[in-house]
Structure 1
Amino acid sequence: MISAYAKARAVAAGVAQPIATVAHVHVSARPLVFVPLSLAGEANAPLAALIGTSGSDGRLLVVPQPRDRALRFAFAASLARVFVDYLESFPVSPAPSDEESPTAADGPQLLVPNRAGLAFVRLLGRSTRFRRVTGPYPVDPSVPVLGRWLTWFAERSEHPGSSTALAATEALTLHWATGQSAFEDNNLAALLGWIAPPVGLSGAQAAREAEDPLEWPPAGPTTDPTFDNEVLGPLIRGGSVSALEKALASQLEPTWGLMWKAVSLLAALPAGASVAARWEADCSSYAGFSTYLAAEGLPQARRDGAVAAARRLAQLERAQASYDVARSFDDPLVMAGYRVTGEAFAGTVLSVDATRRVTNDKGNLVTRPLVLVQSADPVHLAPGTTVAAPARPKQSGSVLDVTSGLVTIELDKGFGRGKTPAPGVLPSVGEAITYSSVLASAIRGPALPAADETPWTHGGPPEPYVPSDDDAGEVWE
């Protein structure tokens, strides 16, 4: 409802409306921006890419003949050198002991224009991580390393709350609502037209102009059909590499500029309180994978076993739920969505009974303060529902009663062990406060067996993964 309302306001105002008060993604001081292009009609056949860590140092990589296998892998080797140089700029500290994990003070961040760009990264990683450096059709040793890193980036992009690999369109729509459809928001030029329209134009006008492929070529990875037929095809057949590079640069450079504009917009937002912890987890994942590659170097398996797949799904589901909770606690605009559904409410503290003591199940006398809140929100929380306030996330309680806009909360955690809570620990009379029943502590995962206990119904215990010739021979697609 909040997003729908914001979209309606965007149409009325002629400019995108904020749906977040803080940044919910980490924005690196030195991200690696990657704008890929692929050949239309060929599944994931790389055509060109513009890549770099600042708006002024973009490096253009081109495949003169995308159907030529050797040229494809030469492109992958050039791309690998850029990635490896970038990754090596983030040193990893080894684990002090077997009980501890390697660490990294900072980590890499890959930015692509849209979700299709992340799909390109995933497929390019799959098609390169198994390649052999000896035997038939050997590739440069950097190519399989690139594939393993690209696969890691793709997998991190699926992890809710991770900022390791981001699509610019998704990061922007997490913070702004436009007056166009979600499908149209996939066009980076149109999306930024709504968010930051040129002087004298409304968001709708800027977005309409952004649909002109001559002025704003598609943000990839596929090119415009007219460009393919009238420009690209003749240049590939003619064999002029310099002319081809110039033409492909003209397709990539507008999006390149838009990417850095998106980075500036996101970086200008203050970071949400939980963003730093999630970025620390990203850096930890980077350190762990970097150490794994240095020690073993095996590519990720083509398919997960039954238990591994179930564990990954459960982990992603828990991460999504935890991310949703963290965003709502960081941002009152996100919390507003839960207030609309009655899962949270905001109001004013009318009274606080700080010295209330009751007898618990064990017969002990314990402190259980009462907080009475007056709210105009539709409160649909049953007695006994556990709630917490974003202003005091470690302090929780349960709903005792909801009557005519008056909500009574019994606090049971987060106010100390003394008979009387210290001054300032509890909410104060007249304080504006929000309570939510959507809590990270309520997230539970299923009980799953160990991999070696996989039941026969799911294939039994999996064999240890060992790369095979079949893996190495997987087609590019």
Structure 2
Amino acid sequence: MSAISSYARALAAGDGRAYPIASRRHLHLSDHPLVFIPLTMAGEANAPLAAMIGTDRDSPSLLVVPQPRNRDLRFAFAAELAGHVLRYVEDRPRHGVETYGKEARTRYLDAPQMLVPNGAGVGFVKLFGRSTRFRRTTGQYAVTPEVPLLGRWLTWFAERAEHPGCSTLVAMTSELSQHWASGQSALEDANLAAQLAWIDPPAGSDAAQAAREAEDPMIWPPSGPSTDPTFDNAVLAPAIRRYDEGQHERALAVLERELRTQLEPTWRLMWQAYDLLRALPAGDTVESRWATDRTEFTGHHIYVGGGGLPQARRDGAVAAARRLQRLEREQQEYDATRALDDPMVMANFRVTGEAFTGTVVSVEPDRRVVSAKGRRVLRPLVVVRTSDPVRLVAQTTVRSPARPSQDATIIDISGELVTLQIENGMGRGATAATGSLPIAGDDLTYTSIFPDGIRSPELPSVDDTPWTHGGPPQPYTPSDDDAREVWE
């Protein structure tokens, strides 16, 4: 937790309302996201109980498993869920394609976006995908072909969710925490109802009081995938027992009615959160990250359509190292682009001394120095007065969000004065192009945090996997062992 967000939480607790910690929205929001709220049965590993799903806020679909311990009913649920998810996924390519890059590659204009209430919902997607993608469509316990295909797409959603800045699978509580600081703990923020009570309390209600009411499961049932123990004992267990006794129609009617009461409040909260985030202006780099999501979706959609194998249960040593390296780099890039997009996020780096804001007090636009090749080159000086704590050192390269393509080098720091040498972005003429340099009186922010300044070490090829890590892996082929998951 940053110093700024900690301070904002303290203010929120004192004032009884959430404080914004971002002025821009840092994720893409689809016009038609797929909202998915899963429920599972307590005490059973990954046993689905119910789900509410859909793209229309006014007409969600309710899926119910009357006996979650029954294998056939679980896979019937998976097949029904597949109908919703696969139909939504297959509709995205119909929005068209575009070409991009120097090699004129193509990608879809749209990609799927699934919204779940919280991080536990992401965990359900991951585990449910793993439990279904290896299912056999022939032989004992055969399932319909849509079930393993559903598992592959759920696995893709879950794997993409691990990438910072990805917008294809979004936990709403996590995204709200990126944009607002409530007056409660991070653990309490996992309760969607309580978090929204701080951010957008009912009219005439105190946020802290509304948050306390939101923690009452009789008023706001849990956002899943776990249900409330009182509901389990008083309603769920008797209804399932009736089903086991052969009272199928009666039990199913009770379950559908009662589970709808558990899911509909969260369904309304999901769209409330969506509207709050949608109201924020999108950051400048959101579209570039969404383009990456669309590229990844295009590649996987073509791979699956071409008969590609399901994702392996685990990565090889080199693949795992590459994935970890990529995630670390993307986290740094995401942090940097959020800061460059949003002054409120940049404030975190100003506190740590990795960025400073000040006023330009002087500019030496015609200054020239002798380069390493012996030529005299244009290198203007800019002096900035700042009251921020600057913990950068001389020769550090910095950039301004107002001039993201122009590098500057810190030459000297003397008290409140920081002297910068402009390195590029001035045009190709003998003098700096008009408007390419700051002028006295400009208020600017400079930071050493920028996305293309991140470098990662080279990793060996898969064929060069060291013997200490098992040596070069054998080509992956699915086996019966892959299907032996927690549902067995």
TM range (shorter): over 0.9
**Aligned equivalents of 1:137, 1:42: Cα separation in 2:** 19
CA deviation map 1:424-458 (0-9, x unaligned): 11111101000001122221112101101111011
For the Cα contact (< 8 Å) 2:36–2:51, is it kept in 1?
yes
Residue 37 of structure 2 is matched in structure 1 by 35
Q: Does 1:339 align with 2:350?
A: yes
Q: Which moved more, 1:121-130 or 1:233-242?
A: 233-242
Question: TM-score w.r.t. structure 2 length?
Answer: 0.96
Secondary structure at the aligned position of 2:423 is classed as strand
Query: Of 214, 219, 226, which aligns to 2:223?
Result: 219
Which residue is 1:350 aligned to? Answer: 361
Aligned partner of 2:320 among 304, 309, 314:
309
Matched, 1:433 2:444: yes
1:102–1:288 contact (8 Å) kept in structure 2: no
Is the contact made by 1:352 and 1:370 (CA closer than 8 Å) also made in structure 2?
yes
Matched-pair contact (CA < 8 Å) for 1:369–1:410: yes
Pairing partner for 1:392 from 403, 409, 416? 403
* Pairs aligned (count): 477
Shift of 1:421: 1.2
Q: Residue 87 of structure 2 aligns to which amino acid in structure 1? A: D
Within a 5 Å distance, the mapping from 1:158-307 to structure 2 comes to: 158-239=162-243, 240-307=251-318
SS state of the match for residue 371, structure 1? strand
The equivalent position to 1:416 in structure 2, one of 405, 411, 427, is 427
Instruction: Report the AA paired with residue 149 of structure 1.
Output: W
Q: Which residue of 1 aligns with 2:486?
A: 475
- The runs of 5 or more residues in structure 2 that have no matched partner are 244-250
1:125 to 2:129 alignment:
yes
Among candidates 98, 108, 114, match of residue 112 of structure 2? 108
* Structure 1 letter corresponding to 2:282: A
Match for 1:3: what amino acid?
S
- Deviations along 1:340-397, whole A, 9 cap, x unmatched? 1111000001111111111011111111111110001011111001100000110011
The residue aligned with 2:5 is 3
Q: Which amino acid aligns with 2:316?
A: G
Deviations 1:71-96 (A, max 9, x none): 00000000000011111211166898
Matched, 1:54 2:48: no
Q: CA RMSD in A?
A: 1.5
Q: Is the 8 A contact 2:98 2:109 kept in 1?
A: no
Q: Cα deviations across residues 170-224 of structure 1 (Å, max 9, x unaligned)?
A: 0101000000000000000000000001122221101000011011000000100
1:149 is aligned, of 135, 150, 153, to 153
Q: Secondary structure at the match of 1:413?
A: coil
Post-superposition CA distance 1:286-325 (Å, at most 9, x none): 1110000001231100010000000000000000000000
Aligned twin of 1:88: 90
Partner of 2:92, secondary structure, is: coil
SS in 1 for 2:112: coil
> 2:81 corresponds to which residue?
79
2:26 paired with 1:24:
yes
Does structure 1 conserve the Cα–Cα contact (< 8 Å) formed by 2:173 and 2:189?
yes
* Partner SS, residue 12 of structure 1: helix
CA distance in 2, matches of 1:46, 1:446: 43
- Superposition deviation, residue 55 in structure 1: 1.0
Q: Which runs of 5+ in 1 are unaligned?
A: none
C-alpha separation in 2, matches of 1:296 and 1:15: 52
Identity of aligned residues (%): 59
Residue type of the alignment partner of 2:189: D
Report the CA distance shift for 1:412/1:96 in structure 2 as closer, same or farther (over 3 A).
closer
Deviation at 1:144, TM superposition (A): 0.3
Kindly indicate whether the alpha-carbon contact (under 8 Å) linking 1:101 and 1:288 is maintained by their aligned counterparts in 2.
no
CA deviation map 1:21-44 (0-9, x unaligned): 000011110000000000001111
Q: Which moved more, 1:141-150 or 1:234-243?
A: 234-243
* Alpha-carbon offset, residue 413 of structure 1: 1.9
- Per the alignment, in what secondary structure is the counterpart of residue 445 of structure 2? strand
Measure how far apart 1:3 and its partner are: 0.4
Give me the TM-score of the superposition, normalised by structure 1. Answer: 0.98
Contact map agreement 2:98 2:108 (CA 8 A) in 1:
no
User: What SS does structure 1 have at the residue aligned with 2:293?
Assistant: helix
Deviation at 1:12, TM superposition (A): 2.4
Q: Are the counterparts in 1 of residues 412 and 419 from structure 2 also a CA contact under 8 Å?
A: yes
Structure 1 residues 96, 216: CA separation in 2 closer, same or farther (over 3 Å shift)? closer
Match of 2:72 in 1: 70
